[in-house]
Amino acid sequence: MADVTEKHMVCNNFEAWISIDNTALTQYGEEHSVAGDEASCWIASQTDQGFSVSYNKKAVDEFDYLARVYLDGILVQSTIYVGASAYLPHTASSIRISKTECRGFVFGAIQLSEDDTHLENGPQDVGEIRIAIIKAKAESTPKIYGNPVLPIPNAAIVHERAKMGLGHHVKYQNVIPPAQDKAHRYFFKKELLGTVATFVFKYRPLALLQANGIAPRTPQTPDKGVEVVEIPISPLPVDSPPQSPKAKVDVSHEEDADTAAILARERVLLAELEQIRMTKRAAGISKDRRLKKKLKQNSGHFFPGEIVDLT
């Protein structure tokens, strides 16, 4: 089974994490490239659950950095951080689709199709959240321009034969009002100096991760207050006095009065049921004995030519 990591994933003095309800998701099977410039892991996604992508720089240097966020292979954010701003946590949780509306990132159930065109033209990076950190050098004087508006990405459609264990994709559903203090953005002319860190979060439903041994299975905890009743199924002798069923009861001391009363009533009903069964068996055997006695009495009066029905 893969290793489990509760901390943020770290690569080349940057760290990144995915959150749901402001809580970082557990990371499974973290791996790093030989060169040390790429880190990857698995996370558990939840249907119709919003999420956010966060990252920040951990060490000080003289460079600026450009961060690009890709969801299912689609670029949804590209931001340059100048000077000390790179050392603050940055979070992406939505895209702006108009001047007055944003749409949040949401995990959605994958859409499957039998159309063969999706075998070759289907999305290649469904199930991945990727963050690329690029070293840059920005000019000191920025230009102000309006906040960019992005079209809503098309829903990912995967062919039935090519789903390869996929369960979710990213959709853009929840409507979020845009922040007033981000009505404008600054544009820096920049020189890109190469990618220094890449984070890849492969998301799947938890059950799928558990089935493949990537995430540990949830331990089963025994229920408290469970009553075990053993009822004999072999018939009792006819001449034996009525007996209540043998019962073996294991009831938690934490059981409340209502539960105890229900269990007591259940034992009484089981005893009555067994009494009815014994009465029926006794009545059937008694009737059979009377019939045999009557046949025996009639067998001594046989007349020549008489037909006796022995069925």
At 23-62, the pLDDT tens digits run 999 999 999 999 999 999 999 999 999 999 999 988 878 8
Q: Indicate if 68 and 179 belong to the same structural domain.
A: yes
Ramachandran assignment for 13, one of left (phi > 0), alpha (psi -120 to 50 degrees), beta (any other): left
Long-range contacts from 236-242, C-beta under 8 angstroms, 24+ separation: 236/278, 236/281, 238/281, 238/282, 238/285, 242/275, 242/278
One-letter identity of residue 242: P
Q: Taking 50 as the threshold, does the pLDDT of residue 302 lie above it?
A: no
At 246-295, the pLDDT tens digits run 444 444 444 466 677 777 778 878 877 877 887 777 776 666 666 666 65
Q: What is the mean pLDDT of the chain?
A: 74
What is the extent of the structural domain holding 117? 4-211
The pLDDT assigned to 121 comes to 57
For the chain, the 3-state helix, strand and coil shares in percent, each to the nearest 5, are 20, 40, 40
Burial classification of residue 145, based on how many CB atoms lie within 10 Å of its CB (0-12 exposed, 13-18 middle, 19 or more buried): exposed
Q: Provide the domain count of the chain.
A: 2
Band of the pLDDT at 114, cuts 50, 70, 90?
low
CB atoms within 10 A of CB 76: 19
Q: Which of 3-7, 94-98, 255-259 has the lowest mean pLDDT?
A: 255-259
Q: Indicate if 229 and 201 belong to the same structural domain.
A: no
| Euclidean distance between CA atoms 203 and 41, whole angstroms | 9
The pLDDT assigned to 10 comes to 93
The pLDDT assigned to 234 comes to 45
Name the nearest CA neighbour of 279 among 231, 230, 243, 247: 243
Q: Indicate if 70 and 153 belong to the same structural domain.
A: yes
Q: Indicate if 162 and 279 belong to the same structural domain.
A: no
Q: Taking 70 as the threshold, does the pLDDT of residue 215 lie above it?
A: yes
Name the nearest CA neighbour of 44 among 221, 211, 219: 211
Rounded to 5°, the CA angle 156-162-168 comes to: 40
Q: Indicate if 48 and 165 belong to the same structural domain.
A: yes
| Euclidean distance between CA atoms 114 and 23, whole angstroms | 37
One-letter identity of residue 31: E
